[in-house]
Structure 1
Amino acid sequence: MTDNAHTDTTAPELAQQGTIEHLDPNLLEIGDNVRDVAELTKEFVSSIAENGVLVPITGVRSAENLEVVRIRNGQRRTLAAREVGLATVPVYVLPSAAADAAEDLIERVVHQIVTNDQARALTDAQRAKGIQQMIDAGMSVTKVSKKLSVHKDTVKAAQTAAGSQAALEYLDSTQISLTEAAALAEFENDPAAMERLVNVAGTGRFDYTIEQLRIEAASAEALAKEAQKWVERGYTVLDSRPSSWDPTMVPLNHLVRIDAEGTEADATEESVTDPAQWAVLLYEGTALVDKTTGELVNEDDVDWATEDEDDAVPEDGLRHANTVEDRDVFNAEYFCLDYAAAGLAIAQRRARQYFPELVTGEDDDTDAAQAEAQARAEADAQAEADKRERRKVLALNKLGSAAIIVRREFITKLLTRKTAPKGAVGFVADALARDAYMLTGLHADDTAAELLGLKENQPVRTHTKGLDASADARAQVILLGMVLGALEARTGKDAWRNPGIIGGTASWARNVTGGEYLKFLVSQGYTLSPVEEVITGERTSDQVYDEYLAEAQAA
């Protein structure tokens, strides 16, 4: 079969050459344009003011009046040049080959479409590299910001992103922003963390995930340091829980000591005498400790009536509540590597369950034995449930801490407004009508001051002093800040444990609930984190914890 397609090998006819002229932008005739709305952004006008017109405008000299140059491409540059007062702009003046008005229209439209469609913008990665080159050449962030007419934060983000090859690759291959790419650079050595961030890029959960990853990284670092201490003492440190059927890794609570008469006694931590015979699985928990020494403190030894009362005197035999604090600690679960060498044996009840080949003597099928076995099984199940609950509390409290950071950043930005946002005045009125004493709550004023951006230890009243009638709008914003500060102060990292409740349920409570507070923030554009969705009642704590475990497993 023959290909009959005709190939034109003749060279294209060259268009007539134009000339570069420097003309007064006010004398240029803009005329018709395919771009029927010439929007001038603040950044674009600033760029023209700072750098002038770098890319020449194109135009055609009128055949009727040679003094008139009609713009073909560059109406935005022309308008901006007029606005900032440029005396002249470069114009590439082309001759027109049109024989009539129809040909002139076609020539104009082709020129305007081609010059716009065939232009290709820089990628964010290319822009970041370019900004880094300017900084490397000795230009300050401020000067780069001014020269490029972009915010200084954008320049800083570009500088950070340019220092990470992985961040630049994500910029090129995904839809993440320059600011998000800069955040990725912090986790360049953790591909799983970077992937988690990319998965939520462009959503309200991006900042929350950053804080969550930072907290997780801090926990991992603390765990590594704690593990090293155990290794130095001679223990084997496990990365995960071993199988219950492994006779070379038997949990301490499955072991017993057997006396000369054959009586079993449960093994305790006192049985752990030789580190070489034991492995440990470390897990985080919380404990009450002395603020100064870090030593464990029994909560019954504390006079809790003195909490937040520095001058209060504790009762005899008790200590002041302000001398202690809850602190994250690491607990160890012991597993014996060689129980025989350790002088221990596997309890017969455990042997029947996990190691039937080690059972000695005849099975006791009496009702009492079966009842005891059932009771122990239920106790084991409850112990595992309690263990899960403790770990869930610790995990979700960390998620709560991450949410607090992001939430307060959002509120702080919201309160920079000159006028209260829509719906705010009604929310404030309802909150104060139901709970007039909220503003006197613990840390309410301090939190409000923080959210309003006041200096440390500066009360809100210093911000309202001297406000006159012309400041009514800003005063409403300050009042909103006081109410949000009061609600935020009592929405701690563990607020998820009482979902939707601060003093009662939403249907009848006098006090504003945590769910109502968060839903107001949502109405202002805030995106809830998973743990905050527990507070609003949209999810359960177990659902969020299971999701947390799945993410950890995937990482």
Structure 2
Amino acid sequence: MEEAAIFAEFEHDPEAVERLEYAKRFRRSLTHEAQQLRDEVAEREADAAEVERLRGEGLPVLTAEEVAAADEVLRIERLLNAEGEPVPEEEWPSVPGARVHVVKEWVYPEDEYDESEDDTDDEADDEADDYEPAEPYQQYVPVWVVTDLDASGLRRRGGVSGGASSGSTADEDAGESEEEAEARREERRRVIAYNKAWASAETVRREWLAGFVARKTAPEGAEALICEAVVTGHHSLSKAMDHRHPMLFTLLGIPAPTGYYGAGQDECRKITTKATTPKAATMTTLAAVVAAWEATTGKHSWRNPSAWDARVLGALVEWGYQPSEVECILLGEEPEPDADTEGEANADEASDSAA
């Protein structure tokens, strides 16, 4: 029934249907594939809205279709004028054929954290110990570009003009070989693709967890996971207990009281009093352990998977969860390259690696 509903949702999109059929043929999760398709649609709509917004401000913005059709999209800031000098920023809009390409760049908030700003009192030390990097996010950046180098009157760095090969790049001028530059670009494409895949997987996983924590009895092996989390005092559980289990409230569909420590003891006690049997109490405790782990996951998880990530996710898989390919990295499995996700990543960096 669920499979039929997914195919019906995307029946208007032949490419989406093809991806779903591919996933089904190779026994990949249709639920994860469908969520990625939804997120991609939402992203394209957001991209188009940003283009229209900037056009409303009078900027000559390229549409996604125009970018795809262009032979080259070259950043003016990386090109030289006839005198061999960089074009002053204030002159970029005046370059013949100059357009604006809206690109997305990743921002990593953890880079903004400065330990030197911590106070020396106990409370500040506790806050520093409790610090976890915020999730990276993408922001739109309008970039002035040209799509016809000859018509612009500019040339690439290294003396290569419009009709010649683009083999000489700014990165190579900086001493980076072509192999090193391509490896860097490939890693960037991988990060973009996996970050997007993780965001989609998170939506699916939390929907599944919301159903899981509502179980009346715990699955086989729950006691061992609870024991390990409690006896070892794992950081994720300790943090959740300090903050009164905000993710548990979220998964249970209960509004979490606000405040520095999140939900209060009285609210947590209401959850425990509903567990009136030993089996129910075990399930509630398991839900707290799993929710605590979930609260500490994010796009950093696939880049730096831990043994506890593998332990918890492995248990969820045993209990019926079907992980996406990017989540399988936490289990020690590297995903196979995917032409569709890499294509999306290439689109994100279309002008960023040019010139």
Q: Same fold (TM over 0.5)?
A: yes
Query: How would you bin the TM-score normalised by the shorter chain?
Result: 0.7 to 0.9
* TM-score normalised by the chain length of structure 1: 0.48
Given the superposition, is the C-alpha separation of residues 472 and 377 from structure 1 closer, same or farther in structure 2, using an over 3 Å criterion?
A: same
Q: Is the Cα–Cα contact under 8 Å of residues 448 and 482 in structure 1 kept in the other structure?
A: yes
Alignment of 1:10-409 (within 5 A): 177=1, 179-201=2-24, 205-231=29-55, 232-237=58-63, 238-240=66-68, 242-243=70-71, 250-252=74-76, 255-259=79-83, 264-267=84-87, 269-274=89-94, 277-287=97-107, 299=112, 327-337=137-147, 344-347=153-156, 349-351=158-160, 355=164, 375-376=173-174, 378=176, 385-409=183-207
Given the superposition, is the C-alpha separation of residues 414 and 254 from structure 1 closer, same or farther in structure 2, using an over 3 Å criterion?
A: closer
The equivalent of 1:549 in structure 2 is 342
Matched residue SS, 2:105: strand
Structure 1: which amino acid aligns with 2:269? R
Structure 1 residue 355, shift from structure 2 partner: 1.9
For residues 139-176 of structure 1, give each alpha carbon's deviation from its aligned partner in whole angstroms, at most 9, with x where no partner exists. xxxxxxxxxxxxxxxxxxxxxxxxxxxxxxxxxxxxxx
Specify which of 293, 299, 314 is matched with residue 519 of structure 1.
314
Given the superposition, is the C-alpha separation of residues 330 and 452 from structure 1 closer, same or farther in structure 2, using an over 3 Å criterion?
A: same
Q: Distance in 2 between matches of 1:390 and 1:272?
A: 27
For residues 1-41 of structure 1, give each alpha carbon's deviation from its aligned partner in whole angstroms, at most 9, with x where no partner exists. xxxxxxxxxxxxxxxxxxxxxxxxxxxxxxxxxxxxxxxxx
Comparing both structures, which one devotes a greater share of its residues to helix? 2
* TM-score normalised by the chain length of structure 2: 0.72
Structure 1 residue 403, shift from structure 2 partner: 1.1
Given the superposition, is the C-alpha separation of residues 498 and 420 from structure 1 closer, same or farther in structure 2, using an over 3 Å criterion?
A: same
Structure 1: which amino acid aligns with 2:12? N
The equivalent of 1:451 in structure 2 is 251
Given the superposition, is the C-alpha separation of residues 432 and 266 from structure 1 closer, same or farther in structure 2, using an over 3 Å criterion?
A: same
> How many residues matched?
316
Matched residue SS, 1:200: helix
Alignment of 1:448-527 (within 5 A): 448-457=248-257, 459-465=267-273, 467-468=275-276, 471-499=277-305, 501=306, 506=307, 513-527=308-322
Matched residue SS, 2:160: helix
Q: Is the Cα–Cα contact under 8 Å of residues 156 and 162 in structure 2 kept in the other structure?
A: no
Q: Distance in 2 between matches of 1:417 and 1:355?
A: 65
Alignment of 1:426-445 (within 5 A): 426-441=224-239, 445=245
The equivalent of 2:215 in structure 1 is 417
Q: Is the Cα–Cα contact under 8 Å of residues 283 and 331 in structure 1 kept in the other structure?
A: yes
Structure 2: which amino acid aligns with 1:516? R
Structure 2: which amino acid aligns with 1:473? K
Structure 2: which amino acid aligns with 1:464? T
Given the superposition, is the C-alpha separation of residues 201 and 473 from structure 1 closer, same or farther in structure 2, using an over 3 Å criterion?
A: same
For residues 170-191 of structure 1, give each alpha carbon's deviation from its aligned partner in whole angstroms, at most 9, with x where no partner exists. xxxxxxx3x3333334334322
Given the superposition, is the C-alpha separation of residues 272 and 385 from structure 1 closer, same or farther in structure 2, using an over 3 Å criterion?
A: farther
Structure 1 residue 329, shift from structure 2 partner: 1.8
* Higher RCO by CA contacts (8 Å cutoff, separation 6 or greater): 2
RMSD across aligned positions (CA): 4.0
Structure 2: which amino acid aligns with 1:193? A
Structure 1 residue 548, shift from structure 2 partner: 1.9
Query: Is 1:539 aligned to 2:334, yes or no?
Result: yes
Q: Which residues of structure 1 form unaligned runs of 5+?
A: 1-176, 290-297, 313-320, 357-369, 507-512
